[in-house]
Amino acid sequence: MAEVPALTEAPDTRGLLRRAGPFLRPHRRRLAGALGLSLVESAALVGIAPAVGAAVDALLARDGGAFAAAVALLAAMVIGVAVIGRLAATTLADAGERIVRDLRERVAERLATAPLRFLEAHRGGALLQRATGEVAELAMFVREALPGLVSATLTLGLTVVLLLGYSWELTLAVTAVFLAPALLITRWFARRAGAVFGAHAEAEAVMAATFTETLEAREDLRATGGLPAWMARFARDNAVAVAAQRRTAAVENRVGSISLVEGAALGLLLVAGAWLAAGGHMSVGAVVVFVLAARNLFEGFGDLSQLAGDVQTMRTGLARLLDLLTAAAPPPRGDRILPARGELAAEDVVFRYEAGEPALHGVSVRCAGDDHAGLVGETGSGKTTLSKLLAGLYEPDGGRVTFGGIDLREVPEEEVRARIALVPQDVRTVAGSVGDNLALAPGEPDRARMLAAFEALGLADFAAGLPHGLDTPASDLSGGERQIIGLVRAVLADPAVLILDEATADVDPVTARRMETALARLRKDRALLVIAHRPATVELLPRLIRLHAGAVAGP
Ligand SMILES: Nc1ncnc2c1ncn2[C@@H]1O[C@H](COP(=O)(O)OP(=O)(O)OP(=O)(O)O)[C@@H](O)[C@H]1O
């Protein structure tokens, strides 16, 4: 079996910046501008302490001029922090929002073009959680945490530089008492957090998947009395998510112990500063600078440890998004062009859903340009699987599917869609009107073309009978009515091959017969492959292909 790329539950969070590089690159100027502004803001913030120190020394020396200059500098710094800080935060948040918007679009595009096998191999809710929940977390981080994170990091770095400039001995003491233990706690957090936050995100995704499935299957579950069992399953998933949340909260709380270290370091600073000032080794102003700057250091570290949880959630979410983008990538395809009409052929096709017995083994069928054939066989014989292979929705594990002699894997996806249309039994519509759904056909058909397609299929009275015509909400349609819309949508694409997988099974027999006769007449040079259980559906067709246990059983 061709390896179906699978999502990783807790993907690696190492090298994230490098892997996210392609998404950051288009915004590098805006990001650089925002970082530059943050740097100026942090420099102004860190500069407040020396300005206060200079004012204290000028006051003690009774130097009015120096005092006034220091106070003016202080005022400029305070105003600078307020004004530039605001500008830096909004610029940074704006750049972040743009990056998140790009990511969101890329994820939506990936899921829309992901191989069918990939989508089928994953729970819908889990994909939804990554595509919406994880992106929402990122957007929140960018808005609420990122500006504070950048500013705290820069302030911390500049403060250490400032302290070293005043007294390396005292800086060393503060480092030993505060920075070293604080860094140890932060490192412990970084080590523990990856697994704990990954497990939390995964538990949330499982819960979302179960919830989505409950919603989708709500009618069946109610009708069959399966709701209590399903609710019990949801409760179990919910309990696992709550336990995972508790573990992340516990890890985050342990980081809070940094405040104890902070108290010890401040005490040491005051004692050592008083001793140094009394001994004439340092001016009182310098001690004031040290105490104030150390507060910056503690606050910066405090802010960072507060944000550590947010950062880890962001890293986990980003890693899960990048994992989705990688795993859902469609396999590379060629750029060959298909002829307008041609023979569709499966040549010795093998296909496995799972390791073991293949669903199809060595199936060869040919459908010439004007061939009209029925595909029949018992339940589970492989009809739907073969139809998806013929429509290029699955790639075969062995053999090949060709149109006009060209392997479908060598052709861009849009090219295949324009030539081969598949109408499934369960036609899904998107939110909007009947017209909105028909407009999704290649070439964006207008209303006149839509009505002409109904006419050509002998369904003009059906279209006229819709309560609001083409403006009827698609959600109001019955299963059979959706099948008709699916068929009209496929015909609008004017494909060379039309494959109907039980596509008239839910339509009343008279309408079904009318549609099939109209289809057979529609174009002489169009191939038609009709999959059916009921003999009546295919009895008008000149040829039958019979499948049995994943192989062609002969006519
Ligand atoms: N998504 C899937 N994952 C795993 N196995 C699958 C999947 N879809 C189909 N199968 C298996 O592949 C085999 C062929 O299924 P397929 O749906 O192609 O048969 P079918 O002839 O169309 O059946 P039916 O007449 O009931 O629609 C069956 O054994 C089925 O259980």
The answer, yes or no, to whether any atom of ligand 1 lies below 6 A from the CB of 357, is no
The answer, yes or no, to whether any atom of ligand 1 lies below 6 A from the CB of 359, is yes
The answer, yes or no, to whether any atom of ligand 1 lies below 6 A from the CB of 360, is no
The answer, yes or no, to whether any atom of ligand 1 lies below 6 A from the CB of 358, is no
Read off the pLDDT of each residue in 36-51 and give the average, rounded to a whole number.
Answer: 92
Read off the pLDDT of each residue in 506-520 and give the average, rounded to a whole number.
Answer: 73
Nearest CA residue ID for atom 14, ligand 1: 382
The answer, yes or no, to whether any atom of ligand 1 lies below 6 A from the CB of 387, is no
Read off the pLDDT of each residue in 72-78 and give the average, rounded to a whole number.
Answer: 93
Nearest CA residue ID for atom 26, ligand 1: 379
Q: Which atom of ligand 1 is nearest to the CA of 533?
A: 25
Q: How confident is the model at residue 507, as a pLDDT? A: 74
Range in 50-64, 468-482, 512-526 with the lowest mean pLDDT: 512-526
On the question of pLDDT at 508 being above 90, the answer is no
User: Which CATH fold topology does 20-327 show?
Assistant: ABC transporter transmembrane region fold (1.20.1560)
Q: How confident is the model at residue 496, as a pLDDT? A: 92
More confident residue, 457 or 349: 349
On the question of pLDDT at 542 being above 90, the answer is no
Read off the pLDDT of each residue in 468-475 and give the average, rounded to a whole number.
Answer: 92
Token pair listed for 61: 């020396």
The answer, yes or no, to whether any atom of ligand 1 lies below 6 A from the CB of 384, is yes
Q: How confident is the model at residue 554, as a pLDDT? A: 58
Nearest CA residue ID for atom 3, ligand 1: 353
Range in 127-141, 372-386, 528-542 with the lowest mean pLDDT: 528-542
Residue 63 contacts by C-beta under 8 Å, 6 or more apart in sequence? none
Residue 387 contacts by C-beta under 8 Å, 6 or more apart in sequence? 375, 422, 499, 501, 529, 531
Q: How confident is the model at residue 381, as a pLDDT? A: 92
Edge to edge, the sheet with strand 398-403 lists 360-367, 344-351, 398-403, 406-407
The answer, yes or no, to whether any atom of ligand 1 lies below 6 A from the CB of 361, is no
The answer, yes or no, to whether any atom of ligand 1 lies below 6 A from the CB of 342, is no
Q: What is the CATH number of domain 344-552?
A: 3.40.50.300
What does the alpha-carbon distance between residue 265 and residue 291 come to, in Å, rounded to a whole number? 10
CA max distance for the chain? 110
SS3 content of the chain, % helix, strand, coil (to 5): 65, 10, 25
On the question of pLDDT at 269 being above 90, the answer is no
On the question of pLDDT at 2 being above 60, the answer is no
Q: How confident is the model at residue 523, as a pLDDT? A: 63
Same fold, 20-327 and 344-552: no
Q: How confident is the model at residue 555, as a pLDDT? A: 53
**In which residue are the tokens 């995704």 written?**
205
Read off the pLDDT of each residue in 152-176 and give the average, rounded to a whole number.
Answer: 86
How confident is residue 521, by pLDDT bands cut at 50, 70 and 90? low
DSSP result, 14-31: TTHHHHTHHHHGGGHHHH
Please calculate the CA angle 284-285-290 and round it to the nearest 5 degrees.
Answer: 95
Read off the pLDDT of each residue in 327-341 and give the average, rounded to a whole number.
Answer: 88
**In which residue are the tokens 């469609």 written?**
330
Give, for ligand 1, the residue of 375, 383, 545 to mutate: max count of ligand atoms closer than 8 Å to Cβ. Answer: 383
To the nearest whole percent, how much of the chain has pLDDT over 70?
98
On the question of pLDDT at 410 being above 90, the answer is yes
On the question of pLDDT at 78 being above 70, the answer is yes
Read off the pLDDT of each residue in 379-408 and give the average, rounded to a whole number.
Answer: 94
State the complex-level ipTM: 0.97
On the question of pLDDT at 218 being above 70, the answer is yes
Range in 424-438, 484-498, 520-534 with the lowest mean pLDDT: 520-534
On the question of pLDDT at 261 being above 60, the answer is yes
